[in-house]
A and B are shown apart, each in its own frame.
Chain A
Amino acid sequence: MIKFENVSKLYGSNAALSNVNLSIGKGEFVFLVGPSGAGKSTFIKLLLKEIEATEGKIFLGDLEVTNLPNRKIPVLRRNVGIVFQDFRLLPRKTVYENVAFAMNIIHASPRSIRRVVPQALSLVGISDKANKYPHELSAGEQQRVAIARSIINNPSVLIADEPTGNLDPDTAWEIMRLLVQINLRGTTIVMVTHAKEIVDKMEKRVIGIERGKIIRDDLRGAYKYHV
């Protein structure tokens, strides 16, 4: 599903990523861990073509990201759901409108929007908040809206950039259960995180990045090496 071939990203003479090779299959649930500045954000930005790789090739499904013309970036991003640490909801739109917006941009029919949005809201468990604005919701609820928005168009990949970073442990686990549920429907999930406890308990594939290099890739890993 996601493939990095000898990818490097240089900022001047600093390598944010150097010679990364990586392959993530369809339906996998992967944790991306590492200290701040290790290259995790660079990884995501490259995948979304927010920045260009200095070297190497990146594939996402059938698309060769590194070869994609700029005007096709929206098409790429519609294939990738994204959830951020700070939720990034549209402040002037209600919960319903926020989720519906992702369908608006692919010009979905009003009828299918009316049908699909309530389903997504109920999947993430915030049907009763549909007409509220983001600032009226708790952090956990906002993240649920963000998740509903990210999966509404059935993306093949969901990227979660520290989705639990602003949440208390209980809420964090609720979000994790939601992500697992989405993963079970066949969506590939790449989650960048610092949450040691979550990574340890989930026992999923863990990819460790440090100083721009992949230092480990364990199929059923933990946050840290246990030597």
Chain B
Amino acid sequence: MFRASAYSVKQACKQLIRNRNMCTASIFSITSMLLILGLFFILIVNINLLAQTAQSQFDTIQIYLEDDVGEEAIYEMQNEMETIYGVKEVTYIDKEEALVIMKKRWGDNGYLLDGLESNPFPNSLEIKVNKLEDADAVVSRIKGMDGIEDIKYYQSVVEKLLNITNFIQLAGMVLIVILIIISIVIVANTVKLTVAAREKEIGIMKYIGATNWFIRGPFFVEGIIIGIIGSGVSVAIIYFFYKKIIEAFSTQAFVMFSIGLVPHEFLINHLIWIFISLGVGIGSLGSILSMRKFLDT
């Protein structure tokens, strides 16, 4: 077993060196496929994150209260709201707290709020709903209450956002599958060219009594090596650029709008395994497919 694999690896390396140009071409095509794939992967992962943050930030209903409503009345309202079907919890946020929260959210730019003469924020109640779909019903129950200045909730926005992310995810998946198939075909064709050039040799090997796997072995390993190199190169490229993008984004104003990007360490740790298994899969499957015709007994 060990001897057989050692032989395959040795032969595969010889073949790779002999067919440098062809191999470079397939490595290049795998790399570019994986780069596009990586782009979509990054897009999907980040949109997922965005959707998650959006959902957790917007599954609340903000109820801004008129300034002349006293604390006691507010607590009464709070209790009443908690009995409404679909409501998870109701939190009271007074003016001061609202200001502190906003300062926090602005981060380094929070000092801008220090210049305010009076606190512009109203007292408010924040309702968390169990399900986003219940928000409409809850709001219609609250609307009639006294002392409410304004009600803000984002059901339609969030729903639209979710629809869009679902669509992008689905489209991305379909595209990824298509790209994988294309990559397999490309590798299969590259290996097929080498195999075709050696059709006669393969015939001789079979006459001498070589098994199909013995003949296939070196080509199989060749495909795997091409796959590993291709995926390695693409991961390196993605790592480099994504890190740059993250760095650029984190120093700019984006933080203010609390748009988060998936940290590059996390992304690369996942991407590297996905890509290597894809590269190996594409390479080995491609080589096996391309040899099928020549090994028919």
Please list the residues of chain A having a beta carbon within 8 angstroms of any beta carbon in chain B.
48, 70-71, 73-78, 82, 88-92, 101-102, 104-107, 109-110, 149
* From A77, A92, A110, contact of B208 by CB (8 A): A77
Whether B211 sits at the interface, judged by CB under 8 Å, is yes
In the complex, 13 of the A-B residue pairs with CB atoms within 8 angstroms, ordered by the A residue number, are A71-B211, A75-B209, A77-B207, A78-B208, A78-B209, A88-B207, A92-B201, A102-B209, A104-B214, A105-B211, A106-B209, A107-B3, A107-B7
CB atoms of B209 and A77 under 8 A apart: yes
Whether B4 sits at the interface, judged by CB under 8 Å, is yes
- A109 to B206 Cα, complex, angstroms: 21
CB atoms of A48 and B207 under 8 A apart: yes
The residues of A that contact B18 with a CB separation of less than 8 Å are 92
* From A48, A88, A107, contact of B204 by CB (8 A): A88
A76 vs chain B, min Cβ distance (A): 7
CB atoms of B207 and A104 under 8 A apart: no
Q: Which residue of A lies closest to B201 (CB)?
A: A90
- A110 to B207 Cα, complex, angstroms: 22
CB atoms of A90 and B3 under 8 A apart: no
- Would you list which residues of chain B between 207 and 239 have a CB under 8 Å from chain A? 207-211, 214
Whether B297 sits at the interface, judged by CB under 8 Å, is yes
The residues of A that contact B210 with a CB separation of less than 8 Å are 74, 105
Whether B181 sits at the interface, judged by CB under 8 Å, is no
The residues of B that contact A104 with a CB separation of less than 8 Å are 7, 214
Known interface pairs A91-B201, A92-B201; A101-B208 also in contact (CB < 8 Å): yes
CB atoms of A90 and B209 under 8 A apart: no
Whether B205 sits at the interface, judged by CB under 8 Å, is yes
Q: Which residue of A lies closest to B198 (CB)?
A: A92
Number of B residues whose C-beta is below 8 Å from A? 15
CB atoms of A107 and B208 under 8 A apart: no
- Would you list which residues of chain B between 167 and 190 have a CB under 8 Å from chain A? none
B203 vs chain A, min Cβ distance (A): 8
List 10 A-B pairs, minimum CB-CB distance, nearest first: A77-B209, A78-B209, A105-B210, A74-B211, A74-B209, A88-B204, A107-B3, A70-B297, A102-B208, A90-B201
The residues of A that contact B201 with a CB separation of less than 8 Å are 90-92
CB atoms of B297 and A73 under 8 A apart: yes
CB atoms of B209 and A76 under 8 A apart: yes
B207 vs chain A, min Cβ distance (A): 6
Q: Which residue of B lies closest to A152 (CB)?
A: B208
- A107 to B201 Cα, complex, angstroms: 19
- A36 to B27 Cα, complex, angstroms: 50
The residues of B that contact A105 with a CB separation of less than 8 Å are 205, 208-211, 214
The residues of B that contact A107 with a CB separation of less than 8 Å are 3-4, 7
- A77 to B206 Cα, complex, angstroms: 8
Q: Which residue of B lies closest to A50 (CB)?
A: B207
The residues of A that contact B214 with a CB separation of less than 8 Å are 74, 104-105
A69 vs chain B, min Cβ distance (A): 11
CB atoms of B3 and A109 under 8 A apart: yes
Known interface pairs A70-B297, A74-B210, A105-B214; A90-B7 also in contact (CB < 8 Å): no
The residues of B that contact A149 with a CB separation of less than 8 Å are 208
The residues of A that contact B208 with a CB separation of less than 8 Å are 77-78, 82, 101-102, 105, 149
Beyond A74-B214, A101-B205, A105-B209, 4 additional pairs, beta carbon < 8 A? A92-B201, A105-B205, A107-B3, A109-B3
The residues of A that contact B209 with a CB separation of less than 8 Å are 73-78, 102, 105-106
A140 vs chain B, min Cβ distance (A): 19
The residues of B that contact A76 with a CB separation of less than 8 Å are 209
The residues of B that contact A88 with a CB separation of less than 8 Å are 204, 207
A83 vs chain B, min Cβ distance (A): 10
Q: Which residue of B lies closest to A72 (CB)?
A: B211
- A71 to B295 Cα, complex, angstroms: 12
A160 vs chain B, min Cβ distance (A): 13
- A89 to B205 Cα, complex, angstroms: 9
The residues of B that contact A48 with a CB separation of less than 8 Å are 207
- A43 to B100 Cα, complex, angstroms: 96
- A106 to B214 Cα, complex, angstroms: 9
- Would you list which residues of chain B between 1 and 56 have a CB under 8 Å from chain A? 3-4, 7, 18
CB atoms of A90 and B207 under 8 A apart: no
